[in-house]
Chains A and B, each alone.
Chain A
């Protein structure tokens, strides 16, 4: 196969799965009735976006951006380094996503305690 086809397959594969994750997460948030499943959906959306972000930074024939002895060896052999910035940003984004998930789960626990149910269609004191 020529290298162009390989690249297309890779991009469809990676971008496709990341966007797929986002869509699956969106579906869960919008359609599922159980609160925990909605929170899991949020996590899945986050995973998709992070994957997308890291995928943007990839460079063909690239290696990790670390100047260890092994890394310097690879540089000498002609490999370039991938873009480090998206990885650093994703690191921050993952932690932030965790924080939001933690707060969301605590709210679910509170709602469950209060209403004895965790299904969204049975908790409707405020107008949705």
Chain B
């Protein structure tokens, strides 16, 4: 059997359907199967990336009908990079979540099914070449996310989940409306063909559709003012789920936004709009992060701010800026992942997750505190950690486009970041431990996961060239709309079914 992009979706789905049956044979299977699936997907990623380097973008048709008559999956330097990154992060999250909290076996089975489908949904979003298929995968991701947010019984999970559901449903509504209007105009659902036919759509209609897409996808990408759901969802969800939200789900949302803006539409001033919205998102969320006393909410607002920077960089639109944006997405996934992972352990027995209870933990939980501090240093962009490079490239691209105001803004916000992160670190190491505070020993899986992330942060910090070639190809693939169309649509007059 040839390894192809559809394995990313078909194999986890098969495993998810099998889990209820296999859990009857042996309770422990449910914890192991996701790991096996992800290892296999890792192998798929490596194989496909190699194939990509040799033969170029892989376009796979489903059910034998060539695009645009069937659905197709596109594994390009851009989407393939994202998919591989998500697979790797998902695997690390699985290691982390192995025995994270003692749950009864029946919910454990459901937890792993939902978690696996959450990952599958995000990878599907990134790989698909069809706009309605994109919507379906978005819904897969959304439903898993709603259910996982409300997973724990004793917290306010249900309320956060319900709020997430309401706002997420608005996102789906807007995107579906946009698809309705779009189909009525271009008569196709294939992204490449939509891009091709976009010039035939009258401008007012184009603007309406774009606005609907921006609102719907902005909710998923946590753009201001549509990100109200995020702090609650991140803070109420179980630890590993919060990591998945920050590292995978929001990336898929940003991907959707970018794909629509760059590939489907051709309106030039959208870039400026993105810069403005990104800047507003950045400022408001970083200031909000400053005021938070709950560590997970603080991290959530910080994530939103980082996505604001990503939007700014995508808005600038030069190859260098897109390179910086993708690098930042990669860095954010691993660094924020590390922060959420260590943060969850720091406040494990602390139901309100308040920072003020963390006094003196530096002595009592030295390893985890070290991980957290490493993450904090990395995310504010200090060399020689990974975060430094992404910030540098984005600032350089802003300088090249003479957007000096942006440089000042990003640097000013970095200072705010330093303040609230080092507030936590300082309390960890210099505070006096409160009486009777209980800490929780991390599982071996947790330590391994956090170590992997830390090492990656250090390695990428010292040798950014390890991944920068991949990211560079990804940036070029994203910006090259003509190439995308050419890859997906064979000669437009050829309508015969592809035989093998």
Residues of A within 8 A of B (CB): 22, 29, 35, 38, 42, 45-46, 49, 52-53, 56, 85-86, 89, 92-93, 96, 99-100, 103-104, 107-108, 110-111, 114, 123, 125-126, 128
Contacts and interface: CB of A to CB of B under 8 A. Distances in A.
A49 B159 contact: no
B158 A92 contact: no
Contacts of A42: 166, 169
A49 B163 contact: no
Given A45-B173, A126-B232, A107 B156 contact: no
A38 B158 CA distance: 15
A128 B189 CA distance: 37
Interface stretch (B37-45, B139-147, B414-422): B139-147
Given A86-B180, A125-B159, 7 more contacts: A49-B173, A92-B132, A100-B172, A103-B147, A110-B150, A123-B159, A128-B163
A52 B178 CA distance: 12
Nearest to A111: B158
B143 A99 contact: yes
B212 to A, nearest CB: 11
Interface in B166-220: 166, 169, 172-173, 176-177, 179-180, 183-184, 189
B162 A53 contact: no
B143 A103 contact: yes
B139 A126 contact: no
Contacts of B139: 96, 99-100
Interface of B: 132, 136, 139, 142-143, 146-147, 150, 156, 158-163, 165-166, 169, 172-173, 176-177, 179-180, 183-184, 189, 232, 236
Contacts of A29: 166
Closest 5 CB pairs of A and B: A110-B158, A107-B162, A56-B184, A96-B139, A111-B158
14 contacts: A42-B166, A56-B183, A85-B189, A92-B136, A93-B176, A100-B172, A103-B146, A104-B169, A107-B161, A108-B162, A110-B150, A114-B158, A125-B156, A126-B232
Contacts of A49: 173, 176-177, 180
Contact of B162 (A22, A104, A125): A104
A104 B166 CA distance: 8
A38 B156 contact: no
Contacts of A107: 146, 150, 158, 161-162, 165
Interface centre among B136, B160, B162, by most chain A C-beta atoms within 10 angstroms, is: B162
A103 B165 contact: yes
A57 to B, nearest CB: 9
B159 A111 contact: yes
Nearest to A49: B176
A126 B159 contact: yes
Contact of A56 (B150, B172, B180): B180
A45 B166 CA distance: 12
Contacts of A126: 156, 159-160, 163, 232, 236
Contacts of A35: 162
Interface centre among A53, A100, A107, by most chain B C-beta atoms within 10 angstroms, is: A107
Contacts of B147: 103
B21 to A, nearest CB: 22
B230 to A, nearest CB: 12
Contact of B183 (A46, A86, A103): A86
Contacts of A128: 163
A100 B158 contact: no
Contacts of A114: 158
Nearest to B164: A107
